[in-house]
Structure 1
Amino acid sequence: NRLDVAADLLALLDATTTEPRPDTQLEALTLAVAADLPVLLLGEPGIGKTAALTQLAAALDLPLTTVIASVHEPSDFSGLPVPGDDPAVQGVPMAPPDWAVRLVREGRGLLFLDELSTAPPAVQAALLRLVL
């Protein structure tokens, strides 16, 4: 069950700690990952959000994909047009971004939408459409 998996993940995390950290926050993050729940990390730049996710991904042997939302345009997340056999009838399908394809192929992983709160609302909406 998921609680057993979470307990195993927390034990692994305790065994791989390399620097002091607020245990309760990283434990909560680990439990959320084990439960396959989205997490919103808020904080000033430089407080260790990326470092915590990098440490967690390494401890859990999960690929970590970081997308810096504030440097993208909404069209970056809608994909590129892929010509089909009959675009007039079938429309033109859009290929998702490479990072999204890699995550789907892996079947598991962590996606960090960095600087999402500082991105324009149109970029936020495009990203959330892609991941929800």
Structure 2
Amino acid sequence: MNAADMNDDDRPLNLDVPDHLEYSEEHVWVDASVSPAIVGITEYAANKLGELVFVDLPEPGGRVEAGDEIVELESSKAVEPLICPVSGTIRYVNRDAADDPSVITNDPYNEGWIVKIELDDDEPELLSADEYLRIIR
């Protein structure tokens, strides 16, 4: 998802945007404080998509570059790719989310994580929580 596709009238107000995470403009969060880093979609993206009905996960062990479409998220409203904001090797995928995609919608920052990636050494260009909030509000 990208910010250009969304207008001010659709933006929910009281969103959770945890300070300890970093964000992309495509509404993806990264927790690089752990290894492998955890990646998921933001509450904003989850609200925009609505109830997810299918998640097409990549296979662990695959290599991903920042900007790659790595996951397809399907809801009753739309089919959207998850655009990975980091480069590295996918180590784990959330099979529970694949079995029950609503976990992503209902708990995007915890049980709804999508992939865990062993990051390359380069520093990804991500936004702080405050910078991300400025984009979505």
Please classify the TM superposition score into its range, dividing by the shorter chain length.
under 0.3
Identify which of structures 1 and 2 has the higher relative contact order when contacts are C-alpha pairs closer than 8 Å and 6+ apart. 2
Which has the greater radius of gyration?
1
User: How high is the TM-score relative to the length of structure 2?
Assistant: 0.23
Structure ranking higher in strand proportion: 2
User: How high is the TM-score relative to the length of structure 1?
Assistant: 0.24
Structure ranking higher in helix proportion: 1
